[in-house]
Chains A and B, each alone.
Chain A
Amino acid sequence: MEIKKTSLNKLHQSNNAKFVEFAGYEMPIQYSKGIIEEHKFTRSNSGIFDVSHMGQLFIYGDQSLTEELEKIFPLDLKNLKENCSKYSFLMNEDAGIYDDLIITKIEDGYLIILNAACKDKDFEILSNLLGSKFKMNLDNNRSLIAIQGPKSVEILNSIINGVDQLNFMTGNWFDSDNQKLFVTRSGYTGEDGFEISISNDKAEKFVENLIEKGAQLIGLGARDTLRLEAGLCLYGHELDINKTPVEANLRWAISKSRLSNGGFIGSKKIMNQMQDGASQIRVGIKPEGRLIAREKTKIFNDTDKQIGEITSGTFGPSVNGPIAMGYVDKEFSKVDTKILLEVRGKKHPANICALPFYKKNYVKGVN
């Protein structure tokens, strides 16, 4: 199959991107400054991320669509206000996760942002569940650009006036350069920022404009170190079909009002696990010293019993040390529990720690 390219591919090339294949797309892993510089620039200034490979699924419908989607997602969609977003999951009957996603209520339906590697299968699953009653469009004509970091609000507002009035996890349509953009205040870095849905033919000029105002392109490498410092899950690593939201320590994302009656796919398992707890749970892990424990590193207790496995591990540029996330047996999941990580045949000490590794406050209550 031929590798797919986003509408910003030429711009990445002219900015000396190193490319990798990701979910069938040719995507920039880094630019000339490298992952650490890009990471730090995002934390201190404003980074631009091409996330156009992600799926933008528009589903159109009225109240009956809301009712159907409540049978799928563990969310109180009836009480979700227009232009408000929620983090959620597409699950199977065993509450195994097909994908994690952001769903936003828009005027004439819902916009769901899906992971690139999952989007086609998600579309198929949702089409089967919803039938032909509602118009669904997995929109390939729109690019998705994220701008993240403390200076992003000022930079983006100088191009799209009014985005500074958005609260975190809300969005709206804005007019810019004779077209309608959908902007949400959200992101995947632990920083304040925005995601902009824009038609493919306008994307390059829009990003060039952001660069002119002082933002810089950031690759997937720094996106990964940023999200890991922020304690955020990456599908295919922390989350997959064999993990449930309770095991992933994401019970906050399940609407409380949906837990009494269930009625969504996977609700039985979720309700059981909420009551009894899951046998394994996702935790933050801080290796001692400088040792980096990568994905699939085995986790042991002090009597040499394997108690879990790392799902993501790297060097965190802002915390200036190694960080990881993984799953451990419930009895070892308490903060400050001492564990051992097997790297290159030797066991190294580490500690269970609270997430996130790096914390900033998101913008609330601007209006």
Chain B
Amino acid sequence: MSEVKFSKEHEWITLEGDVATIGITKHATEMLGDIVFAELPEKGSNVEKDGTAGVVESTKAASDVYTPVSGEVVDTNQSIVDDPAKINEDPEGDAWFFKLKIKDTSELDNLMNKEEYDKFAKETSS
């Protein structure tokens, strides 16, 4: 599996062959608070880089989930829809959101690595 990359919209992405797994970061869940609702893209649909691909809601507000790369949705994680609290518990592990079959791996090039993202998250939240 490839190195984990991060977007400015607080999504993480890993790549295995041409299938990317995408979720939201621990930092994002800390900003959101208790997550009580998740909506995922439909399997088989196509999503565009930086477009919305889902929704999470905390007790306070709704937030869009964006996709950092384009592709076809090949799998979604129904377990976080059934129990959204899982997203707070393990956002960068079991609580992934969706998997995409991607065409253009170069779309990952401009994303941040862990160190860059941690710095970005710290700067933007203070």
Task: Check if B37 sits within 8 Å of A292, measured CB to CB.
Answer: yes
Q: How far is the CA of A322 from the CA of B36 in the complex (A)?
A: 9
Task: Check if A292 sits within 8 Å of B36, measured CB to CB.
Answer: yes
Interface set, chain A 275-314, CB cutoff 8 A to B: 290-292, 294, 314
Instruction: Identify whether the interface residues of A are mostly helix, strand, loop, or mixed.
Output: mixed
**A-B CB contact pairs (8 Å), 20 listed:** A29-B60, A30-B33, A35-B34, A35-B58, A35-B59, A221-B33, A225-B59, A290-B36, A290-B37, A290-B84, A291-B37, A292-B36, A292-B37, A314-B59, A315-B34, A315-B36, A315-B59, A317-B59, A322-B37, A344-B55
Known A290-B84, A292-B62, A294-B62; contact A34-B57, beta-carbon cutoff 8 A:
no
Q: How far is the CA of A14 from the CA of B84 in the complex (A)?
A: 30
Chain B positions within 8 Å of A36 at CB level: 34, 36, 59
Q: How far is the CA of A294 from the CA of B61 in the complex (A)?
A: 8
Other A-B pairs, 19, CB within 8 Å; known A34-B33, A315-B34, A317-B59? A29-B60, A34-B34, A35-B58, A35-B59, A36-B34, A36-B36, A36-B59, A221-B59, A221-B60, A290-B37, A290-B84, A291-B37, A294-B61, A294-B62, A315-B36, A315-B57, A322-B36, A322-B37, A344-B55
- List the count of A-B residue pairs having beta carbons below 8 Å apart: 37
Binding site for B on A (CB under 8 A): 29-30, 34-36, 221, 225, 290-292, 294, 314-315, 317, 322, 344
The 8 lowest CB-CB distance pairs between A and B, nearest first, are A315-B36, A35-B59, A36-B34, A292-B57, A34-B34, A292-B37, A290-B37, A315-B59
